[in-house]
Chains A and B, each alone.
Chain A
Amino acid sequence: MDTTTRIARTIVPQRAAGRLLTPCPRRRLLSPWPAVTAAIALCALLPSSLLAVDPPGNASCVTQQQLQDVGVIESKDHKLQAVIRVVSGPRYLPPQTDPKDRLTLRYYEGYNPAAPSQKWPNNWDCVGPGPTLRAQIGDVVQITFLNQISPEFANSIDSGHRGSPEECDQVKNVSSGKDVYPVNDKYPNCFHGSSSANIHFHGTHVTPSTTGDNILIALQPNSRMTEGDLKEVDRAFKRIFEHCELREEPKKWADLPETYRELQRKWLNNYDNNASYQGGRGLPRALRVWPKDEAAIHLGLWPQYFSGAYPYCFQIPEYAADKEDTNVKMGQAPGTHWYHSHKHGSTSLNLFNGLGGAFIIADDSPTGYDGKLKAFYTGKLEQKILVLQQISEVLNLMTPQGGGSPRVLVNGQLAPTITMRPGQVQLWRIVNATVQKSVNLTLNRVKDEVRNPPAVAYRQTAQDGVQFSWKNFSDPQNGTTTLTMAPANRVDLLVQAPASGTFLLGSTDPNQAVLKLVVSGDPYDPPMGFPTAAADYPVLPPFLKDIDPAEIRQRREITYGSFTVPNATQPLLTQLQFTIDGKQFEDHKINQVMELGTSEEWTVYNADTIQRIAHPFHIHVNPFQIVEVFDPSKALQPRKFLEEAVWWDTFAIPPPVALLPGQSCPSKVVEGANKTSFCLGYFKMRTRFVDFTGQYVQHCHILAHEDRGMMQLLEVVPDRTPLGHH
């Protein structure tokens, strides 16, 4: 019996026709833009299950001082069900309150079809993250993902929609007659395709293939789906999701319901026939996307291009020590993860638009990360989810003027306030969802207050969504060091308010601070405190035990670097290029192949001797344990972490330092410009390539670097070694 047949047999009867329809979002009704107006009639016809989000309505977030919580879509009965749409429209960027100053941005709208009151955004019209997703270990994630971005952006569509034979976004400086962009950037490592969509579930240990954490697909926008189309999508996705619950995710194109395949065929052919190209309509053969999909399908591969609607469904793996031989080897670390757009060429622009959100994966079991902390604080532990973002309509490299770095916002707000009672402890789950900003987490006391005020006490409980072991949590240094978050890092902190005071996060300057903490109200007496005994602290899941050096199958060296384009074309903003192992990302080339079920040790060097910045290394699917770090700007020798080393999924590689004559270097030495010798910073990590085969990527999480080529394609292949051939 093929999967399609099985799907047909398990289909749940549809609810009665004639469901109540939710009114159209107010923005669409008010929009003066003709195409959006044309969509009014369509949206009135959409099934309520695909349009249950109330309209964003006002700019209250700009004036509101207190931190607003982002709306949560939560799993129930082991299923996280969500409809998430990428849409576009005007949004307030704090501190602006004039409607004329609103930015036109792409953003996420989402709701829970099983509990429509769980929705986001909720009655405001400001920039900010998508809904917070909250699931439990072992849940099945079922997301109906819709791309309904309007064509109100220049240079936005893949493969010729702009009318240019080249595939990079293009900007011309009409003052000088010269191009601003792409100039020295070359496809595919240039900004392009920013209205194509997909989702990376950053920090999840799930399949990177088909309907999992698959960032290789591109979902084309399609705002012209009919009511009938959407009902077919709804029905088809329900079938797919039911099979996911049985751990029967679609493996190939034929596993998808026929109705959905037919819609994709129709929509993608429509795109090929109607996309604008060189001033006309219709793409030439080489740029058509449906023939590319057909070729992939013919080879038994998962196609790359989809239109309008895509089903994300996967299981968050639950590790069971007593089933080690048959179950997953790693399991999902419970913690603070996130999701964001990840279309190569537009990741940075879409994150600047705000296309990111928190994804909390909880373990509420009595010994689990969440359950144990709740028990210790007898249910009084308040949590704050803080999504840090930078918002901008445009990228610096695409303007003739360049530009500064946008302010860091928290949940879409400018330096919002958290008020805590003296002695109160909160769990802050901080997500650095900025494109490029390292954020210092120091809480600085506001001056002009009492002398020698008490400091804010804190303890880190997790890094990148992976909990600290008791040894690391109870380390005397925890709570004393300066914490810095590179882009994509997450940090969980237990924060205890002192007796009084006002504190600024990230800066001593109120005009640059990220967050304000005000202590007031009735004190907790005694203070809530922190766990002081291992028995009060979450138990470390067994799959997070140290990777034994004896397990290591292979050691690799990876080098992040840069170069300047020789004889570069003016203007020179794009002269600086970024590489991994001396090369930029190449389509159809797999740079690293790992065998399923093996552990490896990678030494990742930073050879960017030009900018000398800390490029944040990120690898999908599997977290890694850092066992050694060498930062030549801070130490003469590497620092080693031999036991219970912290797990990360993103780590800023220490930059290289120019060597003085006679100075030694315990790392590699390379020659930079002017024959200057540089001692390279590096880190060494161990990771397990377990549970999932498939293709995914490692890249720099300064996302403009990723878009411009600082990325490699990886593949984990099954162990098919012959038993012997002698």
Chain B
Amino acid sequence: MARNRMISINDQPGQTLASFHPPNEVVKVGDLIFWVNNSNVAHWPAPSAKPEDQTKWLPYQIPGRTADQEPAASQSISFDAVPKTGPKVDYVCSLHPEEKGSITVT
């Protein structure tokens, strides 16, 4: 059976960049992958930092939160096959390209 796979986006104490947890999420073909943004600024996972790729996975950024707000969750994405380029798919935050993560599709 397919599973939900949640990736958290968290601020890191003393650093300006947020991080993805887990940094490399291992999923199966057909699993539903989504992000929950606990950071106080918006983030936007995308397959690359190219402007044309920004909406390839998610149509909108995931807004940040203040202390009294619930974190926001994204929509889901899924892979219907192991990518021909290999099981590991790198991605970035298109708003902060230094923030990197990966998904391994098995």
Contacts and interface: CB of A to CB of B under 8 A. Distances in A.
A159 to B, nearest CB: 14
Given A279-B60, A394-B4, A174 B75 contact: no
Contact of B8 (A34, A171, A177, A281): A34
Contacts of A152: 6, 36, 73
B74 A162 contact: yes
Contact of A154 (B38, B70, B75): B75
Contacts of B78: 171-175, 180, 399-400
B70 A151 contact: yes
Residue among B29, B34, B76 with most chain A CB within 10 A: B76
Given A151-B70, A279-B63, A394-B1, A401 B30 contact: yes
Interface string B1-37: 1111010101000000000000000000111101010
Nearest to B75: A170
Contacts of A394: 1-4, 32
B6 A399 contact: no
Given A34-B38, A35-B71, A403 B30 contact: yes
Interface string B24-56: 000001111010101000101001000000001
Q: Is the interface of B mostly helix, strand, loop or mixed?
A: loop
Contacts of B4: 104, 153-154, 393-394
The interface centre, meaning the residue of A161, A392, A400 with most chain B CB atoms within 10 A of its CB, is A400
Interface residues of A, number: 44
A532 interface: no
B60 A164 contact: yes
Nearest to A170: B75
B25 to A, nearest CB: 13
Interface string A390-427: 00111000111101101000000000000000000000
A281 B3 contact: no
B73 A154 contact: yes
A103 B3 contact: yes
A156 B32 CA distance: 13
A173 B36 CA distance: 19
B34 A154 contact: yes
A161 B36 CA distance: 12
A33 B22 CA distance: 11
B2 A401 contact: yes
Contact of A398 (B62, B70, B71, B76): B76
B73 A156 contact: yes
Contacts of A401: 2, 29-30, 80
Chain B CB within 10 Å — which of A155, A161, A276, A399 has the most? A276
Contacts of B10: 34
Contacts of B104: none
Nearest to B64: A281
Interface residues of B, number: 40
Contact of B80 (A153, A173, A279): A173
A278 interface: yes
Given A170-B75, A175-B83, A398 B32 contact: yes
User: For A154, A279, A280, A406, which residue has the most chain B Cβ atoms within 10 angstroms?
Assistant: A154
A399 to B, nearest CB: 4
Nearest to A151: B70
B69 A281 contact: yes
A151 B80 contact: no
Interface string A256-279: 000000000000000000101011
Nearest to A103: B3
B55 to A, nearest CB: 10
Given A151-B70, A403-B1, A163 B77 contact: no
In the complex, which of the residues A35, A103, A162, A280 has the most CB atoms of chain B within 10 Å of its own CB atom?
A: A162
A173 B38 contact: no
A475 B8 CA distance: 61
Contacts of B80: 173, 175-176, 400-401
A384 interface: no
A152 B30 CA distance: 19
B57 A279 contact: no
A171 B83 CA distance: 18
A224 B71 CA distance: 12
B79 A163 contact: no
A224 B78 CA distance: 31
Nearest to A161: B72
A184 B47 CA distance: 27
Given A35-B38, A279-B62, A399-B32, A171 B77 contact: yes
A712 to B, nearest CB: 30
Contacts of A224: 68, 70
A223 interface: yes
Interface string A516-555: 0000000000000000000000000000000000000000
Interface of B: 1-4, 6, 8, 10, 29-32, 34, 36, 38, 42, 44, 47, 56-63, 68-81, 83
Given A103-B3, A172-B57, 7 more contacts: A34-B8, A151-B73, A171-B77, A171-B78, A173-B79, A175-B81, A394-B3
14 contacts: A34-B8, A34-B38, A35-B36, A151-B36, A154-B34, A155-B34, A155-B75, A163-B60, A171-B78, A174-B56, A276-B62, A393-B3, A399-B78, A401-B30
Nearest 9 A/B pairs, CB to CB? A154-B34, A401-B30, A279-B60, A276-B72, A400-B80, A279-B61, A399-B2, A163-B60, A171-B76
